[in-house]
Structure 1
C-alpha cells in the first residue's frame, strides 16, 4: 500500500511497540524502553539507543574550579537514569487508550492515520524530582516534530544543560549546519559569524583533561552524514543524512547542538585523552538551554548570572527531524 500517495501513515499496533511507517521510513516507539526505539530512513537505522532528555554536559576546568559539580552533580545521575512514568498515544489529534496488549488486539493490520503523536513522560532521579515530557508528532511526509519540556521546580539546582540526546549506531562522516561559526557557548559567541559550515569527522578538542567541547549556538539546522551501518554483510553504503531543523509552531527559534563521538559521561570519566574509548558512535545533542563556560579568571569565578540555567524555571526545545 502506497501510504505517501494517500497522504496517510501506516500504523502497526504491537504488543509492546507502536510502529509508524510511510514511504521509505519506519519508526518504532517502545513502551518498554520509553521512547523512539528505531528510526529507519532509506533503509538505514539512525538510532543505537532510545533518545532521552539530557541534563548534563561534561564539566570544564572552570566548572571544577568554582565547585559547580558539587552543586549540580545530581543532574549527571539524572542524565544516565530516567524513569518513564506515562505514555500517551494520539491518532489524528484524538487520545486513545494505550494500545499495548491486549488492547491492541482490536486493531487490524491495515490501520492508517494522517498524524500520530506519542508522548512520553519521564521522572527525574533528583531530590526533589520533577518531570520532562517528550512528544513525537509524526506527519505523513516523514517529518517528525519533537518537543521536550522540562518542568521547573523549587529546590532544584542549576542545570548544566537541557535538551535531547540521540546516539547513532556508527561514527558519522561529519555534519553540516547553519548557525554561528566555530565552537560557541552562551557567553562565548560574540565572534561567531552566521553562515553554513561543514565539519569533517567528529572533532573533540584535545584538552589535556577531556571536558565539555564542540557546542554550536543559534543553529537553524544541522545534517548528520553517515556512510557506515552495523550490518556485517555490508558496513559501507552510500552516504546519506538526517536533518534536524529548528522551529516552533508558535514562533521561529533556534537551538544549540553538539555532535561528538562520546557521551558527556564518557568525557567526564576520562582524565587524559588516551583514556577515551574508541570512536564508535555518533552522539548528537539538541539543546534548548546550555550553561555558559565562564573562565572570567580561569579557575574560581562562577559563570555570570545571565548564562546560568535555574532549575525552577520551565525549559522547552522543539525541532523537526
Structure 2
C-alpha cells in the first residue's frame, strides 16, 4: 500500500481503522475503546486501555482504613458504564457514529490528517461521575491519549487516577527519564533526576503483595519487548514503544500484574506467572503514608480528592 502524507481511514461496521506507513490503530465502537495498537507490525495491546482508579492496598491503607472507606473505587476499576462516543475527522464532527449501514457511504479510499475520538464512561460509584478517554491521532502515527475526570461531591478519596494498558507479552527492560528509584508523592525527596535503565519488570517482594513500582515526574519512557503472541514470530530483535509527556510530566508503573491480581494475593507465592506487562500511566497518585507505624492517614496534600476535575495526557509512538 502506498501512503501519502495522510493516514488511511477505514469506516467499518463496529470498527474505525486508522492506517499509516508503520502503524495501524483499531477502535471498537461496541467494546467502547481502542482495540489494537500495531506499530512496525507489532501489537502493543492485549486489552483495551481503560481508566483506572484502584491501586493494590498498602499496609498503611489497611492501618488507617482507607481501603474500606474507598472500596467502591475497586468496583469502578473493574466495571464501568459505557456512555457515548464522539468522532471528529479533519475538523468534521460526526453527529452519529458511522457504524453499520452508515459506513456504506464511504469508499475504500478515505484519508485524513487528524482524527479525534472520545469514549465517555460513567463510573459505578454512588454517586456516579463521568470520565472520558480521548485519542488524537496524527498522520505520522503519533497517538495522544488524554483522560478527563469530572469531579463529584460525596465521593471518597481516590487511590489513583490513571489509564491502564495491558501489553501482550512481558517487557525485557524499560528505560525512562525522570526520578530515580520507586517514588510516590510523599517519597520523592531522595530521588535524583536522570535517565535510568531497569531490567525486566521488578516487583517489590513484600510478604503480602501490595502497591509498588511507581515512578513520579517522568518525561519519557521506552518499553522494550522481544516476544509476541504471533506464532510466526520465532526470533525477534528487541522492539520498543515510546511514551512521552504531552504538556506535563507523567507518573507510571510497569509491572507483570494488575492491581486486582496484587490485591487478591495474600502471599507473594500466590501471584501468577509473569505473562504480560501492565502499564499504568497515572495523572494522580496517592501517597504511601507510614507516619506512625502504619496507622495514620496520608497527609492531605498527598491524597486525591474525588471532588476535583483532573486532566492529563501522554503521547505514544514508535521509538
Distance (whole Å) between structure 2 residues aligned to residue 315 and residue 202 of structure 1: 28
1:312 correspondence with 2:312: no
Aligned to 1:70: 68
| Aligned mate of 2:18, from 8, 17, 20 | 20
Write the mapping of 1:1-321 to structure 2, written as runs, cut at 5 A: 1-3=1-3, 6-96=4-94, 97-248=96-247, 253-321=248-316
**What TM-score does the superposition give when structure 1 sets the normalisation length?**
0.97
Distance (whole Å) between structure 2 residues aligned to residue 298 and residue 205 of structure 1: 19
Distance (whole Å) between structure 2 residues aligned to residue 241 and residue 83 of structure 1: 33
Structure 1, unmatched stretches of 5+, are none
What per-residue deviation string (whole Å, max 9, x for no partner) do you get for residues 77-129 of structure 1? 10011222111110012211301011101000100000011100011010000
Moved over 4 A (4+): none
Please give the secondary structure, in 2, of the residue aligned with 1:136. Answer: strand
Please give the secondary structure, in 1, of the residue aligned with 2:236. Answer: strand
Distance (whole Å) between structure 2 residues aligned to residue 144 and residue 234 of structure 1: 25
Cα offset, 1:247, TM superposition? 1.9
Aligned partners of 1:18 and 1:30 also within 8 Å: yes
Aligned partners of 1:229 and 1:235 also within 8 Å: no
Please give the secondary structure, in 2, of the residue aligned with 1:50. Answer: strand
Aligned partners of 1:229 and 1:236 also within 8 Å: no
Structure 2, unmatched stretches of 5+, are none
Distance (whole Å) between structure 2 residues aligned to residue 301 and residue 131 of structure 1: 31
**What TM-score does the superposition give when structure 2 sets the normalisation length?**
0.97
Please give the secondary structure, in 1, of the residue aligned with 2:62. Answer: helix
Cα offset, 1:235, TM superposition? 4.7
What per-residue deviation string (whole Å, max 9, x for no partner) do you get for residues 275-305 of structure 1? 0011001000001000000000122100000
Please give the secondary structure, in 2, of the residue aligned with 1:70. Answer: helix
Please give the secondary structure, in 2, of the residue aligned with 1:283. Answer: strand
Q: How many residues align?
A: 315
- Report the aligned-residue RMSD: 0.9
Distance (whole Å) between structure 1 residues aligned to residue 263 and residue 234 of structure 2: 30
Please give the secondary structure, in 2, of the residue aligned with 1:228. Answer: coil
Please give the secondary structure, in 1, of the residue aligned with 2:100. Answer: coil
Cα offset, 1:232, TM superposition? 2.1
Cα offset, 1:2, TM superposition? 2.8
